[in-house]
A and B are shown apart, each in its own frame.
Chain A
Amino acid sequence: MRRHSAILCIGVLASFVFAAAKPGVAQDKVIKIGGLFAMSGPGSYFGVQDKQGIELAIEQVNKAGINGYRLEVQYEDSACSPLPATQAAKRLLEQYKPQLALGEECSDATLAIMPVMEQAKVPLLNAGSSSIKITDPGNPWTFRIMPNEVMQGVDIASNAYKRLNARTAVLLYENTNAGIGNAKVFADTFKSLGGEILGDIGFGRDVNDFTAIATRIAGLGKVDVIPTYTLEGQGLRITQALAQAGVTKGGGGQSIQLGTIWLPFGFEQKAGKAALGYIRIVQFDPTDKREVVQSFIRSFKAKYNQEPTHINAHAYDQVLVVADVIRRGGKDSQSIRDIMATTKDFSGVTGSVEFDKTNQNVKMDTIHYMETLPDLSWKALGWN
């Protein structure tokens, strides 16, 4: 009996030694991903949703592994703000030593992280910042799958002028790099087409009461469109204040509010009737029939028992882009960067990805136009 036990022990030990010595065991090779997202402060709703999308994608990718690799992620709180974002990036690089990083959502924070990542030669894949400065002039280590402010602004201004026959506009935007940049691109394009900007209204993220702003717009006469660049919370209050002042269609007025890619799915339900007639671009269209979209929605609901938002979707896409790069041979920071730059014909939940020389995704099918109907559902306008 004792002899049998000894043989059994030797067998078990030998199997461990053999397994450890065997090259290319799937679970031994890891691609470390750093996640730089806001986990605290007013922008923390980004981080929570990004994390959901990333965790779901990693779970799916790791079931089969990619070329013998599995993905692993560690998050740092970059707080949607330049200083904490820089500190978080340094901490991540020094302690976790990732092969690549994902983030941030807020343009100001992303711009602060970029030089840190460039110095460390670690690629940064961004999915939620719109400032043109991120890819113009471009940084070899930063990639963006989201359409930038120029792509969004030119497109929305052209559609406002040509499809909605808008001739007058009032700009409403938060005083951040992204807010100011988006509004400027809209204004330049709209004016070049022959439109007139009646009001240019910027405000801080601490503004709560938008009735005074809505009153000012109501006093400006006939306003055809009101492009609005804010995060969800302020966006809700602006939409409601404009309706209360009788400016927009939701309040019996004529103006059409134009929204950005920043607002999540479900915004209409929160804003209520005030959102009637609101036209906005979204990064994720849950009515899209492509299997990758419907499969994502099914998996997301199964895991979290809730509807996914565009933030969940673009975070999910970030991991899928990384998985695609690993599949094509990426194994360290340099090769991941080089292979990511050659990405073409990638089809994700939010749309296609193909990077240009500045590492900006040039595909416009990530911009989906939606109009809010009286029952607060979406109507896809199919403008792209």
Chain B
Amino acid sequence: MLTVALQQGINGIVFGSLYVLVALGLTLIYGVLVQINFAHADIVTIGAFAAYFFTFVFGGNYLVSIGIALMVGAALGWVVNAAIFAPLRERGSELLPLIATIGVSILLQNAMLLWFGPIPYAFDSPYSNEVIRLWGGTFITWQNLIIIVVSALTIALLYAFMKFTMMGKALRAVAQDRETAGLMGINPNQLVMLTFVIASALAGMGGAMLGPILVLTPFAGTSVIVKAFAIVIIGGFGNVEGTIIAGLAVGLIESFATQLINPGLTDIVVFTLLLLMLAFRPTGLIAEKREENV
């Protein structure tokens, strides 16, 4: 029983790490713009396809493909923000960019359906089936180890960027109060663009690591994004630390719910937690400080 518990713990941390990567992008955008980005899931999928084609069509190294997916995600984030979201934000409406994210999502899904077709791709990284046997009969695949290490490094780098660099501090300032930050000489539009680029890069990278785990079709990212939204809310609407804790917690809860009850009920457990959080602690695990402009 201890072996099973340890194994489920490992499984939970692996999937929790992926949830964190995907949810961090959402939380960054929400933190800065107070906007939900429905197209985030599709950037995850495009990241997965970028890694797949780099590895299997162009014969590239899978580890390098994670970096390629990151760059593809970043480029896509830049293009979509510059071409669609930024012009709509300039019109002063909060609703238009939100609706536009739904439009971009449908556009990207159908473009992928056209290019890549609906049949599931067999995306196995060279590390997917290589198993490392651990103590007491537990195991981890090299792929899952890569997920944990890359996610931990990325989270640490992002955390350091946000806490210790001038640009990171400026970004947090924009998140707290965009107008005042502008008066301090910070260009909010540039930082909004940077937010989209970082968030989309994280999504692309998450896609490259999710690809060998999930069922790779043009709709692959959709299955993860609902959980990611829940994690953003549980973590504390735009709070990075809260998102990390919530992501790992959801991964672990899912694993142990699968073991103890039924996999069909894991969503009920996660979303019950979400409802309880909204009812008793609506600010999330860690409340994000935000100035109210009156």
Contacts and interface: CB of A to CB of B under 8 A. Distances in A.
Interface of A: 40-45, 47-49, 175, 201-204, 206-209, 211-213, 215-216, 218-219, 232-234, 236-237, 240, 243-246, 269-274
A273 B129 contact: yes
B217 interface: yes
B190 interface: no
Contacts of B144: 211
A246 B113 CA distance: 35
A175 B268 CA distance: 14
B185 interface: no
Contacts of B129: 240, 243-244, 272-274
B77 to A, nearest CB: 23
A38 B217 CA distance: 14
Top 5 closest A-B pairs, CB basis? A233-B215, A270-B122, A44-B118, A233-B120, A212-B258
Contacts of A44: 113, 118
Interface in B1-43: 1, 3-4, 7-8, 11-12, 14-15
Nearest to A230: B215
22 contacts: A41-B219, A43-B118, A44-B113, A45-B217, A48-B117, A206-B226, A207-B263, A208-B210, A208-B213, A208-B215, A208-B224, A209-B14, A215-B7, A218-B7, A237-B214, A244-B131, A244-B139, A244-B141, A246-B139, A269-B122, A270-B122, A272-B129
Contact of A212 (B216, B223, B255): B255
A209 B113 contact: no
A215 B264 contact: no
Interface of B: 1, 3-4, 7-8, 11-12, 14-15, 110, 113, 117-120, 122, 124, 128-129, 131, 139, 141, 144, 210, 213-217, 219, 223-224, 226, 254-255, 258-259, 262-264, 266-267
A209 B7 CA distance: 14
A313 to B, nearest CB: 16
B125 to A, nearest CB: 12
Contacts of B264: 175, 202-204
B8 A212 contact: yes
A269 B15 CA distance: 26
A354 to B, nearest CB: 32
A384 B250 CA distance: 47
A271 B122 contact: yes
B124 A272 contact: yes
Contacts of A219: 1, 3-4, 259
A248 to B, nearest CB: 13
A41 B218 CA distance: 8
B120 A213 contact: no
Contacts of B214: 208-209, 237
Contacts of A43: 118
Contact of B263 (A47, A202, A244, A271): A202
B202 to A, nearest CB: 18
Given A233-B217, A240-B128, A201 B262 contact: yes
Contact of A232 (B120, B213, B254): B120
B113 A40 contact: yes
A237 B215 contact: yes
Given A208-B224, A240-B129, A244-B129, A215 B259 contact: yes
A236 B217 CA distance: 13
Given A40-B113, A201-B263, A212-B259, A206 B223 contact: yes
B242 to A, nearest CB: 23
Contacts of B122: 236, 269-272
Contacts of B4: 215-216, 218-219
B216 to A, nearest CB: 8
Contacts of A269: 122
A45 B116 CA distance: 11
Contacts of A240: 124, 128-129
A41 B110 CA distance: 9
B256 to A, nearest CB: 8
A45 B217 CA distance: 9
Nearest to B218: A44
Given A41-B219, A237-B214, 6 more contacts: A47-B118, A206-B223, A206-B226, A208-B224, A212-B259, A245-B139
Contacts of B119: 45, 48-49, 232
Nearest to A38: B118
A201 B257 CA distance: 12
B110 to A, nearest CB: 8
A272 B129 CA distance: 9
Which of A212, A240, A269 has the most chain B CB within a 10 Å cutoff? A212
A208 B113 contact: no
A274 B141 CA distance: 14
A57 B183 CA distance: 70
B260 to A, nearest CB: 9
A20 B160 CA distance: 81
Given A208-B213, A218-B4, A233-B217, A203 B263 contact: yes
Contacts of A233: 120, 215-217
B253 to A, nearest CB: 11
Contacts of B3: 219
Contacts of B262: 201-202
B113 to A, nearest CB: 7
A215 B3 CA distance: 9
Contacts of A215: 4, 7-8, 11, 255, 259
Nearest to A311: B119
Contact of B120 (A207, A236, A246, A273): A236
